Chain A
Amino acid sequence: MSSDAPKGTLPALGPAKAGGGAADFLLTRLEEMVSWARKNSLWPFPFATACCGIEFMSVASAHYDISRFGSEVMRFSPRQADLLIVAGTVTDKMAPVLRKIYDQMPEPKWVISMGVCASSGGFYRAYHVTQGIDEIVPVDVYVPGCPPTPEELIYAIMQLQKKIQSGEKSRDQRSAKLAAERIS
């Protein structure tokens, strides 16, 4: 059951339509269950380019232990990952690589931008640095800090889990929808 089915084919969530019938009730529960499963098994692709990558290693190793949140299964193939963690500065030379990796990830997919460089270019207001990865890919959670502490990244993952549980669509799905509307 995918959550990105177009509106109209399946009854939507929400108090107005909830309790309308047995099928509705069952569907809502299933969606929730899927979200619950998804949020607790986020498989990250660590796109670690710079200093933030070292803090990401801290999050992954024994002291902070990201596996407590179900996201310890690092996938180095984008085709097996559903969470892209961009940890570090992305330069203009790296930007096409990032986009390609993002495009190769199956849906639904989420993006965490770790650190100010990934979020806005940081203090590198310079000729070779992408001023925020949202120039290239849609971002779900931004984590400030240079680099963010491991606690901050864990908090970001928890925020993302909350978002997934609430049924909110990922930025990827929303931007795809917007693009489709714009074309039609």
Chain B
Amino acid sequence: MTVATEPALSPAAERLRGRLAGTPLAGRCEVADRDLPTIEVSPDAWPSLARFLRDDPECRYDLFVDLFGVDNLRRPGQKSRFETVVHLHALARNEHVRVKIPLPDEKKPALPTASEVYPAADWFEREAFDLYGFDFTGHPNLRRILCHDAFVGHALRKDYAPGQRWFFAEEDMKAPEWATHTDERAGHFETQTISIGPSHPATHGIIHLIARLDGEKIIRAETNIGYLHRCFEKMSETHQWNQIVPYCDRLNYVSAMINGVGFVRTAEKMLGIEVPDRGRLVRTILSEFTRIMDHCVCIGANLVDIGALSNFIYLYQNRENIYDLIEACCGARLTVSYVRVGGLAIDVPDDFVPRCRSLLESIPLFLKDVQKLVDNNRIVRQRLQGTGVVTREQAIAWGLTGPMLRASGVPYDVRRARPYDFYDKFDWDVPISNEGDNFARYLVRIEEIRQSLKIIRQALDILPAKGAVSSDDWRVVLPPKDAVYHDMESLIYHFKLVMEGIRVPPGERYEWIEGGNGELGFHAVSDGRGGPYRLRVRPPCFANMQAFQKMVIGGTVSDAVATLGTLNIIAGELDR
């Protein structure tokens, strides 16, 4: 008789199990190996597990990445209807870990808050409360964050109809509790509470800041978001895999291409298909161009806010030039919808390489102009240097990623930490700064543009001149139109793909890439049908924006404007 043995765990999971064995948590959590090492824990043991994962010298999962809910109502065979999923990252070892917390009580799903251990969990917990109705006991400010205040029900539960709207009027708007009374006194001034946004020239997109001022100094602030909550996650549950690509483009619409790449990579990993080198290189090249566009708009808009309009016009011209390239590839300028699961929608035009090379020539010229105007400009220096400072410890505690984290001295870039596509083949640097102020973020972004150009140059050198850009697995990628018209089998594949969508095997997976603003992750749960059962996007802006209300304390309102500019908040990604 043979006894089935459990497959060996990965070294990371094995270490976790070993470290947990010696603690009181030993019997209360299980370690398994899925796409990530996964710990399953009961709600009451979650805060102590969180503390352990953060503080244990061999774990040190210090960066809080994501927290979200899953509703298993229509997914039989799961332990409980609701579960909370948490992703953490260990900066020192570049490792992710997943914690799953099944919530046994279906009527009143509740779990203790982790916001004392990980300050970054605050908004993520509020979101899970808003969309799933999870009660995070002990949370200091548990109210709706994305949906409006007159909303009834919890939108991401499976029994909530996707189109059910609720009327919202001005009277229903709720200010935070502390902003409703004005008796607070500080120093020799009487304090006043002001409201900036949601429609304000300095907020780019729609963000609402409520600030209490002592004279000119901000002593307390709170940000209201959700004004562009377009229900991305609900929409992706009602669509097929490839139909979600256009929705992804509208997440971070300033760098649309990167979102699509991030999303289809998750589906491709679940399907286990490979994209041809040429397809992956075109994705890389266009993603890096998109990153350049993203940084150009961020820097340009920030400089407009502090009164330097001409830089915006110079930097925006880069964007127009890159638009020409993207338009030649896929026909759209901004929201490209160019990627598909398994490759690209169509091949690039014949003059793709010369077009890219001419952009490589022109972009540095504009950058040089801008740097000449800005780098030693006294006004810019006075407005940006020393304002909006984030220390290394704060940046990690608040869960920042991307240029914001790197400007605070942490060299975490997903392209380097966990190279995907060809990033480990290229010679490039991760720019960091130790200052952590607004000027550091400006410098990091400028340098990242140069590094992106360097990557594109190397990618163009190894780009095969001919070849497929998409996989030839017709169960995933649409067969060529010619074959559909002349070949019965291709016609059937085409019909099945269009009508039913791609059959992604049941399971779940988290894949993450470096977006314009930081770690952009997609967590997909599939139940084997044509579309995802649950699709969670980890928006870098969300964590970055959460830090804003803490960063502005002690500065003036004009500092807050400069700081908001360097955060590069894109409302589509922030509110989804």
Interface, chain A (partner B; CB < 8 A) = 47-51, 53-55, 57-58, 61-63, 76, 88-89, 91-97, 99-101, 123-129, 146-147, 149
Residue B170 CB within 8 A of the other chain? yes
- Nearest B residue (CB) for A53: B205
CB interface residues, B 280-334, toward A, < 8 Å:
297, 312-313, 316-317, 319-320, 323, 333-334
Stretch at the interface among B12-20, B121-129, B212-220, B230-238: B230-238
What is the 8 Å Cβ interface bit string for chain B, positions 352-363, against chain A (1 contact, 0 not)? 000000000000
Whether A49 lies near B231 (C-beta < 8 A) is no
Distance in Å: Cβ of B405 to nearest Cβ of chain A = 25
Known A124-B235, A126-B234, A128-B147: A47·B253 in contact at CB below 8 Å: no
From B162, B200, B229, B317, A125 is in contact (CB under 8 Å) with B162
Residues of A within 8 Å of B253, CB to CB, are: 50-51, 54
Complex CA–CA separation, A123 to B320 (angstroms): 26
Complex CA–CA separation, A63 to B228 (angstroms): 28
Whether B168 lies near A93 (C-beta < 8 A) is yes
Complex CA–CA separation, A54 to B228 (angstroms): 15
Known A124-B235, A125-B162: A93·B227 in contact at CB below 8 Å: yes
Residue B571 CB within 8 A of the other chain? yes
Whether A47 lies near B228 (C-beta < 8 A) is no
A-B contact pairs, 12 of them (CB 8 A): A48-B205, A49-B206, A53-B205, A89-B228, A89-B230, A91-B229, A92-B167, A93-B226, A94-B198, A100-B170, A127-B234, A129-B165
Residue B138 CB within 8 A of the other chain? no
Residue B254 CB within 8 A of the other chain? yes
Residues of B within 8 Å of A147, CB to CB, are: 334-335
Q: How many residues of B contact A (CB 8 A)?
A: 49
Whether A96 lies near B173 (C-beta < 8 A) is yes
Whether B320 lies near A58 (C-beta < 8 A) is yes
Q: Which has the most chain A C-beta neighbours within 10 Å: B148, B230, B333, B335? A: B230
Whether B316 lies near A92 (C-beta < 8 A) is no
Query: For the complex, would chain A's binding face be called helix, strand, loop or mixed by DSSP majority?
Result: loop
Whether A55 lies near B334 (C-beta < 8 A) is yes
Whether A96 lies near B163 (C-beta < 8 A) is no
Whether A123 lies near B200 (C-beta < 8 A) is no
Complex CA–CA separation, A24 to B206 (angstroms): 49
What would 6 more interface pairs be, CB under 8 Å, given A91-B227, A93-B147? Answer: A51-B572, A93-B226, A96-B170, A99-B170, A128-B147, A128-B229
Complex CA–CA separation, A129 to B204 (angstroms): 20
Residue B169 CB within 8 A of the other chain? yes
What is the 8 Å Cβ interface bit string for chain B, positions 134-171, against chain A (1 contact, 0 not)? 00000000000011100100010000111111111110
Complex CA–CA separation, A63 to B327 (angstroms): 16
- List 3 tightest A-B contacts by C-beta distance, closest first: A126-B231, A51-B253, A93-B148
From B160, B200, B247, B316, A62 is in contact (CB under 8 Å) with B316
Residue B78 CB within 8 A of the other chain? no
Complex CA–CA separation, A127 to B247 (angstroms): 15
Known A47-B199, A97-B198: A128·B148 in contact at CB below 8 Å: yes
Q: Which has the most chain B C-beta neighbours within 10 Å: A54, A88, A93, A149? A: A93
Complex CA–CA separation, A51 to B246 (angstroms): 12
Residues of B within 8 Å of A58, CB to CB, are: 316, 319-320, 323, 333
Query: For the complex, would chain B's binding face be called helix, strand, loop or mixed by DSSP majority?
Result: loop
- Nearest A residue (CB) for B169: A96
Known A49-B205, A96-B170: A62·B317 in contact at CB below 8 Å: yes
- Nearest A residue (CB) for B197: A97
Residue B250 CB within 8 A of the other chain? yes
Known A50-B572, A124-B230: A92·B168 in contact at CB below 8 Å: yes
Complex CA–CA separation, A50 to B571 (angstroms): 7
Residues of B within 8 Å of A97, CB to CB, are: 198-199, 227
From B160, B201, B231, B334, A129 is in contact (CB under 8 Å) with B231
Residues of A within 8 Å of B148, CB to CB, are: 91-93, 128
Complex CA–CA separation, A146 to B246 (angstroms): 10
- Nearest B residue (CB) for A49: B206
Residues of A within 8 Å of B146, CB to CB, are: 128
Whether B206 lies near A76 (C-beta < 8 A) is no
Known A61-B312, A94-B206, A96-B173: A49·B333 in contact at CB below 8 Å: no
Whether A63 lies near B317 (C-beta < 8 A) is yes
Whether A54 lies near B297 (C-beta < 8 A) is yes
Complex CA–CA separation, A63 to B313 (angstroms): 9
- Nearest B residue (CB) for A47: B199
Known A51-B253, A94-B198: A126·B163 in contact at CB below 8 Å: yes
Whether A49 lies near B227 (C-beta < 8 A) is yes
Residues of B within 8 Å of A101, CB to CB, are: 199
Residues of B within 8 Å of A99, CB to CB, are: 170
Distance in Å: Cβ of B551 to nearest Cβ of chain A = 24
Distance in Å: Cβ of A143 to nearest Cβ of chain B = 14
Distance in Å: Cβ of A66 to nearest Cβ of chain B = 13
Distance in Å: Cβ of A182 to nearest Cβ of chain B = 22
Complex CA–CA separation, A53 to B569 (angstroms): 14
Residues of A within 8 Å of B230, CB to CB, are: 50, 89, 91, 124, 126, 128-129
Residues of B within 8 Å of A128, CB to CB, are: 146-148, 151, 155, 165, 229-231
Whether A54 lies near B334 (C-beta < 8 A) is yes
Whether A124 lies near B205 (C-beta < 8 A) is no
Residues of A within 8 Å of B200, CB to CB, are: 76
Whether B250 lies near A50 (C-beta < 8 A) is yes
Complex CA–CA separation, A117 to B133 (angstroms): 28
Complex CA–CA separation, A124 to B312 (angstroms): 31
